[in-house]
Structures are given as structure tokens and as C-alpha cells.
Chains A and B, each alone.
Chain A
Amino acid sequence: MKIKSLLIANRGEIAIRIIRTARKMGIKSYVIKTAKEPNAWYLEEADEVIDFSESFDDNTPEFLDIERIISNAKKNKVDAIHPGYGFLAENPDFARRCEEEKIVFIGPSHDAIYRMGHKTIAKELARANKVPLLGGSEGTVSDAEEARKVANKIGYPVILKAAAGGGGRGMRVIEKEKDVERMFTLCTNEAAKAFNNPDVFIERFVREPRHIEFQILGDKHGNVVHLGERECSVQRKHQKLLEESPSPALDDALRKEMGEAAINIAKSVNYYSAGTVEFLLDKDNSFSFMEMNTRIQVEHPVTEMVTGIDLIEQMILIAEGKKLPFTQKDIKLNGWAIEWRINAEDVQSGFSPSLGTIEKISWPENEHIRVDTGVRDGSVITPYYDSMIAKLIVHGENREKALQQSSLAIRKFWIKGPKTTLAFCRAVLQNRNFRKGKFNTSFLSKELKLNYHHEPDEELLAAFFATYDFARGIQETEDKPLYVEKGKEIAPWVLNKRLR
């Protein structure tokens, strides 16, 4: 069937990203307005807005309310739902409910989501398909005592992972036996909160691996291709900070081998739609299957930049039942793309979230640069959602050129308001081993002496500015009477907040 309208059960940059492709394809887009972000930009970009903002309920966040989303989709007679990433994207019940209500779910089957979402089942499938795996517990571990026994058997370090986890959450590394109990409690708590399922399992922890993932696309006719890999090793506590495609660690032979393993995993659950198979790559180039993410990923733009394929468009066409318009040999990787995640985080105090208003944002524009963002001047980074401000994606004909373009773009990426990870991006770019492509998941803890880059004169200039402002303050209190109508000088969004 031809999809004529779709509801995006998501917000922020990914909602805008999906709207753009929908518009290109002549599909009417619907989004959901919440009380937490009633002035967000994605609401203006969509064709229609469904209003959920009359209630403010922190216990059932709007984008997780399956029945409410489905009933509104039906009321508005939308043909399809795109879940984006996060929220309900990997919830098999949601996909199943869509199917029951004859709404096209733009993603894989609920069965594929369920089996890949349950990490112990996924590992079984990988084993059955002869895809290499890490050693670990068979199934989940029920208490700290069992965790300790298993961990002692495999040998430390081990990693605890939420069985229903994903997106880097619900994972804890245990270095020593004495930490088992504390880490087990932390991990199960987090898993219960984040995924509604406290089950955890244990795996051997590979020291300093690379994190490599393969983008795959499958249709409903059994065709599956991979679109090359993404290098995601630069992470902090399993949260990706930048991604590139291709990876400096892979050659054609290894790419072929890992790509085929990824396709086999996907075929084991008759996978269709876009998906990502994640691997750990050890120093000797042996790789092990970690998990499959059954959704579009945050970092999908780097793959789009090197393959020229619009992944959201393919997801929609696949959902309509169309065959893939290409085979594996048609897929060519052109040049190099890097995505820099610009988050509202204070890198100088341990990457803690830095909330507040984006007073102003601007970036340079040219043919090498793509920026995916859900914010603009006056947008608010709230505590209710993630701290992402923007994704800066830079393309070059090779890695060296992509790095040069990145330096220019990051220098001219200006944000006024919250603290951001831009200074971190600059620190990474300055690092010699990063420039050479020699890095792994320990990059942040071992390679970067400082998590942010600063130039010698910056403190002096900052001191000048503080002193200048202070001197002017003294002058003003001496010179001027107080204005009663101070509000006149306040930026409108600040005033809005105060009036509320």
C-alpha cells in the first residue's frame, strides 16, 4: 500500500528529519505536542499537530503511551507510524498493537524486535548462525550471588548488561569481585527504571575494543544488504560522542566478513526495515556480536553521507512492501563522514547536563556540512528529554579532508546559552592518535588528558571580559537611576518564563 500520512511518535531533531523525507515523498506528517515542550520547533515543521499538552504526567511520558498514540492515530486516520529512536522504537508491543489496528509500523516486525531486544535470545540466534560471541552467563542472572559466581568463573573484568537494554544504557563493568554487589544493584535498578525489566546478564569484558556497527536494510521479500560500517569507539560510559563511516580499522576483507555476519543475524529473524548490528572488534581483528538495534540510529546520517541513500525513505518504501532498489554490489562508500554530537553538557564537570535556553545558535554552511537539529534561537533544553542540541555531520573525500572540514565547522559552530560539548570536539580533533585513526573505546579515559581544548590566551581574554563587565556595572550603578520597566530589555523567551 502507498503511505499517504504518517504519525511521528517522537520529538526533536529526529522528528524534523523524518518530516523532511515525508514531505519529499508527498506524505502528510503528524506530530505530538507535549506540555513539556509546547513551543518546540518540530511542531511547526509538521503538517498536523496532535495535542497531548493538556496534561503533564511524568509517570507515563507521552511518547511511551501506546494506547493514547494508537487511538489518536486512528482518530486522525493516519496510514503509518514512525517511532524514530528511543521511546517506543524497540517496543514489540507497540509494533504489535499497530499491526492489530491496521496501522503500518515503519520498522521491523514485532517478532524481530522482541527477539533482538531480548539479548539472551539474540545471542542464541547468533550462536546458531555461527556468528562469534563473547563468553558469559547463559541467560540472565537472578541475584548478586549468582552474578558473583558467574563472574568468578569467566574471570574479571566482566560486564553486566540489561537484557532489555540498548542505546548504551544499563551497562556496568565490574573490575573486582568486591564491586559485584554494588554494581549489580545499580545495574538492575537502572534496567528496571529505563526498560521496565530488571533482568541482567554477564559477559566477558573485552579491554579496549573498538565499537563497530553495520547498517543493514532488509525488505519484506527476504533481501538484506549492508551499507557499510560506522566507527563508534569514541564513547563516554557507553554513550557515543562521535561516529564516522567508514572505520579506519577495517579493510575490504574484514568489511566483507563482518557485513556478511550482520546480514546473517538480520536474516535469522526475517528482518525488514533499517537495523544496526553492533560488534566489538578486538586488537587482533577478531570480532564478536554484541546486539542488534531494530530501529533507525542517531548516527544514521554518516551512512547516508557516504552511501547517498536516504535511510528514512527506504524505511517507508520497505514498510509499503516495495523491494529494495539495489543489491549488495550496488552499494559504494564514497569518501568519509564524521558526526559530532553537540550536547548541552558541561565537559569541565564530568559531562553533567547543562540545561537552559539556547539563546542563539549558528553554524557555517557549505556542501560538506549537514546539521540535524531540533533547536533554534530561543529553544529550551529541558530535563525531561536527552541533552542533544545538534548533530554536526561533515563529509570529505577522505578522512584527512573530513577532519579539516570538521575543524573549520566546529570553530564556527556558535552557541550562546548552555555549556556544550563543542570544546570536547576540539580536544578530540587536536589529538594525534585520533587524527591517525588509532583509537578505541578507552580513548577518553586514556588518550585525552583534558576533555576539552582551550587555547593559551583564552583565560586572559575571559578575565578581560569579566573585568570589563564588572567595571561597567559599577559605572552604571553610579550613573543611572533604576528603570522600573526593566522588562523592556529582557529577551522575550526569558520574559515568557518569568511570566509563567
Chain B
Amino acid sequence: MAREAKTKKSSKLIALSASNKAYEFKKPLEKQIKYQGKMVDIKLHEDPNGFSYIVWKNKKYLLDVIEKNQNRYTVMINGVWYSFTVETPISLKRRRYLEEKGEVSSMVSIEAPMPGKIIDILVEEGAEVKEGEPIIILEAMKMQNEITSHVTGIVKSVSVKKNDSVMKDDVMIEIQKG
């Protein structure tokens, strides 16, 4: 009990980037953040029906949460998106522990970026793929689009066939990062 009480008061949150970089913030999140050892002003202007932006070192950065699923976030800032998982010190510790034991999935799904029809599948289960390698040809918007892998690894499963129709975000292929 004593321990749990301590957790609740825990005054930190950590945003973990896709490349495993940890950004630590003190709770409650206020008007300054630690930057290169110093506290620096950060001004957030929020407008749910308009544009939200941050003023940082006298520059405006337009930003928006474009995807949110529990603690997983994708934030667009000045037109570039970044993905994070937001962790508490405890959940981060658990995550690191599981990672060490290899229990955190390193499986990456390749999802259909838009509704369309599968014209061709260029890889088979067990095939090695490199980042940027075309793996599926999807016809959508009257174009045959090469869908490329955004990771390097091994194809674990292919869940579509030639001529299948797919909806946006349907999982087409799963790749084990490696």
C-alpha cells in the first residue's frame, strides 16, 4: 500500500519515441521544461476548433494530435509526424524488463494506407525485407501504388491475397523487426 501511494504521487511522465529516445517531463506539466540542463519557457496555445501551437524560443510550431490509442500517440508538428508511447516511471520499468526478456513484440504491421485492391504481393512468408523495399502493389485512386516496408526484418505473415479488396488500416503483412 505504501508503495502504491508513492506511485500515484510520482511526478514524472516519459514520452518514448519510435527510436527509443526518452523525453522526461515533470508533472504537472507547466510553462517551463528542462532543456539542455536549463529551464526554458514553453507556451502552449490550444484551440480545439482552430490551430494549436507551441511558442518555443520565439518561434511558432503548429501541432496536433493526429492519432491516439491509450498511451500511444502520433503528433504532427510543422507537418512532420512523430510517434510516442507515454509511460509512467513504473510502466517504463516494466516495459524495459519485458523488452529484455524479449516479450515485447517487435512485430510491425504493414497496413493499407487507403482502401484499394491488391494487385500483387512481392514477398512471401519468411522472406527478408529491407526498409524501403516494395512488398505489395495496391491499386487505389486509379494508380498502382508500391507499398514499401518501413522496417528491415523478416516477413512473419501475409494476410492478403491477389485481387483482395482492402479497407484503410487493414493489416496486410506482418514483419518481425530485426
A interface, CB within 8 angstroms of B: 169, 186, 189-190, 193-194, 346, 348-350, 352-355, 360, 362, 383-387, 414-416, 419-420, 422-423, 426, 452-455, 457-471, 491
B interface, CB within 8 angstroms of A: 13-15, 17, 21, 23, 25, 27-29, 33, 35, 42, 44, 49-51, 54, 56-57, 61-66, 68, 71, 73, 75-82, 84, 86, 113-116, 119-120, 132, 137, 139-148, 150, 168
Contact (Cβ within 8 A) B78 A360: no
- B146 smallest CB distance to A (angstroms): 8
**Given A190-B144, A459-B17, A464-B42, 5 other A-B residues pairs in contact with their CB atoms under 8 A:** A350-B146, A416-B62, A426-B79, A459-B82, A463-B15
Chain B residues with Cβ below 8 Å from A362 are 51
Please report the C-alpha to C-alpha distance between residue A161 and residue B93 in the assembled complex, in whole angstroms. 56
Please report the C-alpha to C-alpha distance between residue A251 and residue B153 in the assembled complex, in whole angstroms. 50
Contact (Cβ within 8 A) B113 A470: no
Please report the C-alpha to C-alpha distance between residue A459 and residue B71 in the assembled complex, in whole angstroms. 17
Q: Pick from B54, B81, B148, B168: contact of A355, CB below 8 A.
A: B168
Which A residue sits closest to B113, measured CB to CB? A352
Chain A residues with Cβ below 8 Å from B13 are 467, 470-471
Which B residue sits closest to A457, measured CB to CB? B56
- A18 smallest CB distance to B (angstroms): 22
Given contacts A190-B144, A193-B142, A383-B141, contact A465 B75 (CB under 8 A): yes
A-B contact pairs, 11 of them (CB 8 A): A355-B114, A385-B141, A419-B79, A423-B78, A454-B80, A458-B77, A459-B82, A460-B23, A460-B35, A468-B29, A470-B86
Given contacts A190-B144, A360-B51, A464-B23, contact A352 B114 (CB under 8 A): yes
Given contacts A352-B113, A353-B114, A458-B61, contact A468 B44 (CB under 8 A): yes
Contact (Cβ within 8 A) B150 A465: no
Contact (Cβ within 8 A) B144 A349: no
Chain A residues with Cβ below 8 Å from B120 are 186
Contact (Cβ within 8 A) A419 B33: no
Chain A residues with Cβ below 8 Å from B50 are 360, 416
Chain A CB within 10 A, most for which of B29, B51, B77, B84? B77
Please report the C-alpha to C-alpha distance between residue A500 and residue B98 in the assembled complex, in whole angstroms. 43
Please report the C-alpha to C-alpha distance between residue A13 and residue B158 in the assembled complex, in whole angstroms. 39
Contact (Cβ within 8 A) A423 B114: no
Contact (Cβ within 8 A) B140 A462: no
Chain B residues with Cβ below 8 Å from A352 are 113-114, 145, 147
Q: Pick from B17, B33, B141, B150: contact of A387, CB below 8 A.
A: B141
Given contacts A353-B140, A362-B51, A470-B13, contact A462 B79 (CB under 8 A): no
Please report the C-alpha to C-alpha distance between residue A469 and residue B77 in the assembled complex, in whole angstroms. 14
Contact (Cβ within 8 A) A467 B29: yes
Given contacts A189-B119, A460-B35, contact A467 B144 (CB under 8 A): no
Chain A residues with Cβ below 8 Å from B115 are 383
Contact (Cβ within 8 A) B51 A414: yes
Chain B residues with Cβ below 8 Å from A452 are 79-80
Chain A residues with Cβ below 8 Å from B28 are 471
Which B residue sits closest to A351, measured CB to CB? B145
Please report the C-alpha to C-alpha distance between residue A349 and residue B113 in the assembled complex, in whole angstroms. 9
Please report the C-alpha to C-alpha distance between residue A462 and residue B56 in the assembled complex, in whole angstroms. 12
Which A residue sits closest to B19, measured CB to CB? A459
- B167 smallest CB distance to A (angstroms): 10
Chain B residues with Cβ below 8 Å from A386 are 141
Which B residue sits closest to A342, measured CB to CB? B79
Which B residue sits closest to A386, measured CB to CB? B141
Which A residue sits closest to B73, measured CB to CB? A466
- B91 smallest CB distance to A (angstroms): 11
Please report the C-alpha to C-alpha distance between residue A173 and residue B52 in the assembled complex, in whole angstroms. 44
Contact (Cβ within 8 A) A383 B82: no
- B139 smallest CB distance to A (angstroms): 7
Q: Pick from B63, B81, B114, B168: contact of A348, CB below 8 A.
A: B81
Contact (Cβ within 8 A) B27 A423: no
Please report the C-alpha to C-alpha distance between residue A99 and residue B71 in the assembled complex, in whole angstroms. 62
Contact (Cβ within 8 A) B144 A353: no
Which A residue sits closest to B116, measured CB to CB? A383
Please report the C-alpha to C-alpha distance between residue A469 and residue B73 in the assembled complex, in whole angstroms. 9
Please report the C-alpha to C-alpha distance between residue A388 and residue B144 in the assembled complex, in whole angstroms. 17
Chain B residues with Cβ below 8 Å from A422 are 78-79
Chain A residues with Cβ below 8 Å from B63 are 461-462, 465
Chain B residues with Cβ below 8 Å from A193 are 139, 142, 144
Contact (Cβ within 8 A) B84 A462: yes
Chain A residues with Cβ below 8 Å from B57 are 457
Contact (Cβ within 8 A) B113 A194: no
Contact (Cβ within 8 A) A169 B143: yes
Chain A residues with Cβ below 8 Å from B68 are 469
Chain B residues with Cβ below 8 Å from A458 are 61, 77-78, 80, 82
- A186 smallest CB distance to B (angstroms): 6
- A197 smallest CB distance to B (angstroms): 14
Chain A residues with Cβ below 8 Å from B142 are 169, 193-194
- A158 smallest CB distance to B (angstroms): 19
Please report the C-alpha to C-alpha distance between residue A415 and residue B66 in the assembled complex, in whole angstroms. 12
Q: Pick from B54, B62, B137, B150: contact of A464, CB below 8 A.
A: B54
- A425 smallest CB distance to B (angstroms): 9
Please report the C-alpha to C-alpha distance between residue A234 and residue B87 in the assembled complex, in whole angstroms. 42
Contact (Cβ within 8 A) B71 A470: yes
Chain A residues with Cβ below 8 Å from B76 are 419, 462
Which A residue sits closest to B72, measured CB to CB? A466
Please report the C-alpha to C-alpha distance between residue A459 and residue B44 in the assembled complex, in whole angstroms. 15
Chain B residues with Cβ below 8 Å from A354 are 113
